[in-house]
Amino acid sequence: MKTRIRILTALAAGAAAALGLAAPAVAAPTHGGGGTKPSGGTSVAVCAAATPGHASCFARLRTDVHGGSGVRGAAAGRSKPANAAPPTGLSPADLRAAYNLPSTGGAGQTVAIVDAGAEPNIESDLAVYRATYGLPACTTANGCFQVANQRGAASPLPPDQGWGVEIALDVDMVSAACPQCHILLVEADDASNENLAASVDTAVALGATEVSNSYGGPEASDSAQVASHYSHPGVAILASTGDSGYQPANAPAVYGSVIAVGGTTLTRAATSRGWSESAWSGAGSGCSAWFAKPAWQQDANCPGRMTADVSADADPNTGPAIYCTDGCPGWGVVGGTSVSSPFLAGVVALAGHPGRFPDASYLYAHASGLNDVVGGNNSVSGMDCGGDYQCNAVADYDGPTGLGTPNGLAAF
């Protein structure tokens, strides 16, 4: 049984300090390299660990790779130089190819992302990302992009809470999955559970058809107090399962009204698909001690709600490129289930049927439309599930990857 090893390194600590990140550096959990980078990379958690009553974002930033020219002058209308180096990391075209997704669709859908605090450069950073990859412009001027505080107003926006990488990867991953979708960023006053939950309500009130929440904290006796804010029939609500492997379940992903999104390691392969996936060793999974098992979830060994339901690439070693200038190096490579949640929200929007997802039950009835991920585990020292599906990617349902990953839009 493999275990997830936490190793503090001077290299990663120095890189984190240089990037202005307070979180400790940790060797990136991995079952092997792939994508556009070899294995063995180092990543840092962007946000500090969750404290009682507060959530942590689940973004991880590679500290050993960055760069690529992209189109830094995109917002000013300059074109990419012919010899510009492509950004390191998977591109939107890579992700669409891996998951058999169409390049069009999603018109009329608004994907909201809820985050803590402001990212002052987000619109210009998004412009660079989209121009680099040939995606249509998404701006406040053309009505595609909107930023609001947790009360739904354009100003005043809250102070920066250090979630710059998280916010950038959220808008970039929605863009990668659904280039024609509108994007709504709701910035909570801070990372308290109450303010984040209120921001979900605001996102729905402002017209969101899908809401992605790339944050959470270990479930507790008071987790149910904000659960109702994550239930909006007609709107698909998604949340990341976390980056700490097999552990107690995280809220809000554990709520029965939420699609819980786990993570995989995505690698290129000489197969008909062209890609291979296994469970990412950091992908969160857990058996709830506080929330009852929904009728549509029937795994054998967990009497409560089990996470995850579905998954996508989340391994920093096989992660996508993003562009961010708020506490970030410009072009970077990211991972964590913070990547998979907004990407899957974009996939739901691409299919255009958010009303099918008052919860995850539609996925369980259409699992044949997903890539079944087999291989790898997220077992953590001291939390070994003994070979069980709760921490091992096995045929059909398992904790780290849920029912699998998108294979086109058949399951959505």
Overall average pLDDT of the 215-229 stretch: 97
Phi, psi of 226 (to 5 degrees): -115, 5
| Mean pLDDT of all residues belonging to the chain | 88
Whole-angstrom distance, CA of residue 54 vs CA of residue 222: 12
The residue extents of the domains of the chain are: 10-406
Q: What is the pLDDT of residues 15-70, one digit of tens each?
A: 333 333 333 333 333 322 223 332 457 899 999 999 999 999 999 999 988 655 55
Res 252: pLDDT = 98
Q: Which residues pair with 277 in a beta bridge?
A: 266
Q: How far apart are CA 351 and CA 148, in angstroms?
A: 26
Architecture, CATH, for domain 10-406 = 3-Layer(aba) Sandwich (3.40)
Residue where the block lists tokens 């997830």: 4
* C-alpha span between 270 and 276 (Å, rounded): 9
pLDDT at 340 over 60: yes
Average pLDDT over every residue of 157-170: 96
Q: Which residues are paired to 276 by β-bridges? A: 267
E strand or H helix that includes residue 176: helix 164-177
pLDDT digits (tens, 9 = 90+) for 175-205: 999 999 999 999 999 999 999 999 999 999 9
DSSP letter assigned to residue 368: G
